[in-house]
Amino acid sequence: MSHPHPTREALQQEAAVRLATLQGKALSSRDRMAIPSQDMPSQSPDARRANMGEVALGYTAEQARLEALRCLQCKNAPCIDGCPVRIDIPAFVKAMAEGRDAEAIAIIRRNSLLPSVCGRVCPQEVQCQERCTVGKVLKSVDKAVSIGRLERYAADLERESGDFRLPPVKPETGKRVAVIGSGPASITVAADVRREGHAVTLFEAFHKPGGVLIYGIPEFRLPKTIVQQEIETLQAMGVELKTNFLVGRTRKLQDLIDKDGFDAVFVGTGAGLPKFMNIEGENLVGVFSANEYLTRANLMRAYDTGRADTPIFKSRKVAVLGGGNVAMDSARMAVRLGAQEVHLVYRRTEAEMPARVEEVGHAKEEGVLFHMLQNPCRILGNDFGLVTGMECLRYTLGEPDDSGRRRPVEIPGSEFVMEVDTVIVAIGNESNPLIRQTTPGLAVNRRGNLVVAPETGKTSIDRIYAGGDIVLGAATVILAMGEGRKAAASINALLATPVA
Amino acid sequence: MHKILSKEQLSDDVFLLRVEAALIAEERQPGQFVIVQVDNQFGERIPLTIADADPREGSITLVFQTVGKTTHKLADKPVGDSIESILGPLGRPTHIERFGTVVAVGGGIGVAPLYPIVQGMKKAGNKLIVIMGARNKSLIILEDRMRALADELIVCTDDGSHGRKCLVTEPLKELCGRSPKPDLCVAIGPPIMMKFCAETTRPFALRTLVSLNTIMVDGTGMCGGCRVTVGGETKFVCVDGPEFDGHLVDFDNMMRRLRAYKTHEEAAHHQCHLDSDLSRLRKEGHS
Ligand SMILES: Cc1cc2nc3c(=O)[nH]c(=O)nc-3n(C[C@H](O)[C@H](O)[C@H](O)COP(=O)(O)OP(=O)(O)OC[C@H]3O[C@@H](n4cnc5c(N)ncnc54)[C@H](O)[C@@H]3O)c2cc1C
Ligand SMILES: Cc1cc2nc3c(=O)[nH]c(=O)nc-3n(C[C@H](O)[C@H](O)[C@H](O)COP(=O)(O)OP(=O)(O)OC[C@H]3O[C@@H](n4cnc5c(N)ncnc54)[C@H](O)[C@@H]3O)c2cc1C
Ligand code: SF4
Ligand code: SF4
Ligand code: FES
């Protein structure tokens, strides 16, 4: 990229000037659409390659106002249909356009518990923003109203102002609910159930709560203090937190009800089982699952080499396999950990990559090299069992498969070798089998995900509910949250009815 | 927080800690382990076998050898101090039943994880022949406790400073030749020892369980860092194991993976040691 990276100050200046010209005017739809979509201020690629700080710095007040003014307040509000939790987008955006930021966040909070998080990590371009009229008229989803960034702005403002008030908690009911896992699904259930006055205990296998938000998504995309604050809010509401507690081993799921007397349980254990490709050489030294690589780097803070006891593999040339958010996070983490070359290898083309568009753009800016329509068939190693390269095949795209994406087809005889010393496998996660293996009677589908009633989130066992990635397979934060809401409502209904 | 109730030094570099962990003490079974983290901010998560437990007191016993940063930090903790995180019990419990005669082989620190299995096997009515080995006398641990349980105890040291002067594979081979031959072998120790125990019992078709001590991060099946090749398939030691059929484990791959975080030079250095261990074992006719 040849043009210089715009500073936050420059973007702010520009927005302030334009805002002044609009002040006091009644804006027509045409005026609104003439306002340029506001770029997200970010750290320059050169700077951020060498630090873990957040890349996207957040809108300035002027930018947020200006961006909000782009919204046409559509009567039918197609954007709301694109949001899995149906936030009243026109209403909160209008509030922001009129400078009522506190009201904006209150509107968002009616539907979403984690706006700071979702504003940052939602795949907006395939959800709310995909439907946005402005984007449709301007023929590019990139030009849609930046709903996610506005959501983030409003949430950050609330957090930073310290204005946040604890949600009210009803008087104690004496009922007890166990919530397993502490990712977005579980955080949502804990809050919603606690609000009704039930006692809630959150059980987390790791030593720190937050699920993927803590161990998977890196600091440079989602600052950990944000997640910690959400957990602290829960604790302030009276939710009890038990870390280092692996349900299925420390205590069986059914025993939480039978022995420990919980009245209901929510299982939000996520999709934590890394998939491998089952190709030759996959157990060589230097091949990692993205989960391992990111957990060492994020949760165990291995990037802080002076202080952390957990080591991380020293890499020169890294190949990351996959095209989702997990692959982007791994590749960008490898850049920050000092790899000289980072190659992203994907079987299909960029159009099929499930990663958020913004992350793909950021990865490229940071120097990650993209190799589309390729995939390794074998990992090569030396006498010490260390990775030396990958034998790859080239692909073309064939007929669509059942996911609707065109199926990659290998080109026979197209083998070539890519020299790398590290391979990070980021081709997806399945559900961890521990809970189902240790809970007789718990129904799962053929992929090992828990089967629940779609309306209630109830599993095949009474009093046990589930939601998030353990039900959906590896999905998104906002969907996990939505599932959590639904299950919490069922649990609250269950506990409200007096026992017959 | 888990309070350290008592501490014993068993040899130059082996320590025993009794720590508070009520739920784990209640649920644990032989063969299971915990993940210990000395401090949650920058500490490493390391796996240690539950060597013993007292559910009434709510305590578990850990026996460990000081090899690196975390085990040294643990060894430096005084009684009354605490360990920030202990997760467990992890792994599949040992399958215990009445097999008949069980040979249990423990090498070095491996005697500690072997102990609860021997306890369990004894309780199930098996006859137990225990072989304990170490480089020299000062490295033999838990001998009295093992003697109290074993029907027959064979101690060996590399240098002959205690018991027989031989490697553990020598008495193991003799036992395989006995008739009737033992019904099960359980071998726990350094990977190289487990490898050669498996090689020793293979020609006799004596089923041999080994307990693998791979590098781990979460211990819950989430990272795949602990994976090993068993019978051509990838297995996760923390959830599928830690015990596997020794005749099916790819020990060479496992030993390489254990050295992943040494610098490449050190790996080379280690390889020399392994090679000399190997040639020594070969010379003694076990390969
Ligand atoms: C690297 C990465 C990047 C991602 N990026 C995005 C993104 O940009 N946008 C987006 O929307 N989504 C993203 N996702 C997906 C998103 O994070 C998940 O869909 C979401 O976190 C699922 O939430 P959850 O509550 O179901 O479970 P999780 O967040 O997975 O949390 C589950 C928790 O349960 C704990 N647990 C598991 N088993 C047990 C047990 N037996 N006992 C006790 N605790 C247990 C786990 O330790 C974990 O903390 C990403 C995922 C990853 C891995
Ligand atoms: C299921 C299981 C049970 C175990 N039980 C015990 C036990 O009861 N007592 C005990 O003393 N040890 C046990 N171990 C081994 C123990 O986990 C390691 O010794 C420990 O992780 C080393 O940590 P450290 O920080 O002190 O050393 P580090 O600084 O991490 O490493 C020091 C050196 O040891 C090597 N190393 C790292 N991890 C391991 C490992 N898992 N096994 C062998 N070498 C390793 C490293 O390559 C390095 O050279 C067990 C391992 C597993 C997987
Ligand atoms: S929660 Fe996600 S999908 Fe809904 S409005 Fe916010 S960014 Fe869009
Ligand atoms: S679709 Fe776009 S323009 Fe219309 S109300 Fe929603 S955000 Fe505003
Ligand atoms: S230690 Fe992570 S999967 Fe076994």
Cβ of A434 and B220 within 8 Å? yes
Nearest residue in chain B measured CA to CA from A382: B256
Do B50 and B108 lie in a common domain?
A: no
Phi, psi of B259 (to 5 degrees): -100, 15
Do B156 and B179 lie in a common domain?
A: yes
CB B163 within 8 A of CB B188: no
CATH of the domain at A18: 1.10.1060.10
CB A422 within 8 A of CB A386: no
Q: Which pLDDT score is estimated for A404?
A: 80
- Residue found by looking up tokens 């359980």 in the block: B186
> Which parts of chain A sit beneath pLDDT 50?
1-2, 500
pLDDT tens by residue, B83-120: 999 999 999 999 999 999 999 999 999 999 999 999 99
CB B287 within 8 A of CB B243: no
Do B33 and B61 lie in a common domain?
A: yes
Look at residue B49 and tell me if it is in a domain.
yes
Do B190 and B108 lie in a common domain?
A: yes
Do A409 and A453 lie in a common domain?
A: no
Do A302 and A404 lie in a common domain?
A: yes
Q: What span, in angstroms and rounded, lies between the C-alpha atoms of A270 and A448?
A: 12
Contacts of B252 in chain A (CB under 8 A): 385
Look at residue B108 and tell me if it is in a domain.
yes
CATH of the domain at B177: 3.40.50.80
Check whether B284 has a pLDDT greater than 80.
Answer: no
Do B196 and B120 lie in a common domain?
A: yes
Check whether B268 has a pLDDT greater than 50.
Answer: no
Give the H/E segment covering residue B252: helix B251-258
DSSP structure string for A392-431: EEEEEEEEE-TTSSEEEEE-TT--EEEE-SEEEE-S-EE-
Look at residue A342 and tell me if it is in a domain.
yes
Q: Which pLDDT score is estimated for B263?
A: 58
> Is A499 in a helix, a strand, or coil?
coil
Query: Which among A429, A450, A480 is the end of a domain?
Result: A429
Look at residue A168 and tell me if it is in a domain.
no
Contacts of A243 in chain B (CB under 8 A): 85
Look at residue A1 and tell me if it is in a domain.
no
CATH of the domain at A331: 3.50.50.60
CA of B120 vs chain A CAs: smallest distance (Å): 19
Query: Which among A113, A136, A161 is the end of a domain?
Result: A161
Phi, psi of B180 (to 5 degrees): -70, 150
Check whether B280 has a pLDDT greater than 80.
Answer: no
Do A286 and A392 lie in a common domain?
A: yes
A147: Cα within 13 Å, side-chain hemisphere: 34
Q: What span, in angstroms and rounded, lies between the C-alpha atoms of A46 and A65?
A: 29
Do A156 and A33 lie in a common domain?
A: yes
Do A368 and A454 lie in a common domain?
A: no
Do B207 and B106 lie in a common domain?
A: yes
* Six token digits for residue A227: 């997640």
Q: Which pLDDT score is estimated for A302?
A: 83
Look at residue A2 and tell me if it is in a domain.
no
Query: Is any ligand 1 atom within 6 A of the Cβ of residue A475?
Result: yes
Check whether B271 has a pLDDT greater than 90.
Answer: no
CATH of the domain at B12: 2.40.30.10
CA of A452 vs chain B CAs: smallest distance (Å): 23
Do A266 and A307 lie in a common domain?
A: no
Query: Which among B158, B188, B211 is the end of a domain?
Result: B211
Domain count, chain B: 2
Q: If you measure from the C-alpha of residue A88 to the centroid of ligand 3, how many angstroms do you get, rounded to a whole number?
A: 10
> Is B156 in a helix, a strand, or coil?
strand
> Is A361 in a helix, a strand, or coil?
helix
Query: Which among A387, A407, A429 is the end of a domain?
Result: A429
Look at residue B60 and tell me if it is in a domain.
yes
B219: CB partners within 8 A, 6+ apart: B33, B35, B45, B47, B87, B88, B90, B91, B226, B238
Handedness of CA A206, A211, A217, A221 (dihedral sign): negative
Write the burial class of residue A495 (CB in 10 Å: 0-12 exposed, 13-18 middle, 19+ buried).
buried
Lowest mean pLDDT among A41-45, B10-14, B195-199: B10-14
In angstroms, what CA-CA distances link A331 with A213, A215, A315?
A: 17, 16, 12
Q: If you measure from the C-alpha of residue A90 to the centroid of ligand 4, how many angstroms do you get, rounded to a whole number?
A: 6
Do A251 and A114 lie in a common domain?
A: no
Cβ of B43 and A309 within 8 Å? yes
User: Considering CB atoms only, which of B41, B69, B224 is closest to A291?
Assistant: B224
List the 221-280 stretch of B: residues with Cβ below 8 A of A: 221-225, 227-229, 234, 239, 250, 252-253, 256-257, 259-261, 263-264, 267-268, 271
Nearest residue in chain B measured CA to CA from A260: B23
Closest by Cα among A359, A496, A429 to A55: A359
Do A130 and A201 lie in a common domain?
A: no
Length of chain A: 500
Nearest residue in chain B measured CA to CA from A269: B222
List the 441-470 stretch of A: residues with Cβ below 8 A of B: none
Partners of A252 in the β-ladder? none
Do A72 and A211 lie in a common domain?
A: no
Q: Which ligand is nearest to the CA of B239?
A: 5
Domain count, chain A: 3
Q: What is the extent of the structural domain holding A144? A: 8-161
Do A415 and A316 lie in a common domain?
A: yes
Q: Which pLDDT score is estimated for A476?
A: 95
Q: Which pLDDT score is estimated for B175?
A: 93
Write the burial class of residue A39 (CB in 10 Å: 0-12 exposed, 13-18 middle, 19+ buried).
middle
Do A397 and A440 lie in a common domain?
A: no
Q: If you measure from the C-alpha of residue A214 to the centroid of ligand 1, how many angstroms do you get, rounded to a whole number?
A: 9
**CA triple A89-A182-A164, angle to 5 deg:** 50
Cβ of A273 and B222 within 8 Å? yes
Do B105 and B17 lie in a common domain?
A: no
Query: Which among B196, B211, B226 is the end of a domain?
Result: B211
Look at residue A105 and tell me if it is in a domain.
yes
Q: What span, in angstroms and rounded, lies between the C-alpha atoms of B63 and B115?
A: 10
Look at residue A218 and tell me if it is in a domain.
yes
Do A462 and A474 lie in a common domain?
A: yes
Contacts of B84 in chain A (CB under 8 A): 207
Do B143 and B75 lie in a common domain?
A: no
A205 part of contact set with chain B, CB < 8 Å: yes
Q: Which of B218, B236, B272 best tests the A interface by mutation, with the highest count of A CBs <10 A?
A: B218
- Please count the helices (runs of H) and the strands (runs of E) in chain B: 9, 16
Cβ of A289 and B223 within 8 Å? yes
Q: Which pLDDT score is estimated for A287?
A: 97
Phi, psi of A33 (to 5 degrees): -75, -15
Nearest residue in chain A measured CA to CA from B46: A310
Look at residue A370 and tell me if it is in a domain.
yes
Q: What is the extent of the structural domain holding B31? A: 2-90
Query: Which among B211, B227, B254 is the end of a domain?
Result: B211
Do B205 and B152 lie in a common domain?
A: yes
Q: If you measure from the C-alpha of residue A272 to the centroid of ligand 2, how many angstroms do you get, rounded to a whole number?
A: 24
Look at residue A45 and tell me if it is in a domain.
yes
Q: What span, in angstroms and rounded, lies between the C-alpha atoms of A235 and A233?
A: 5
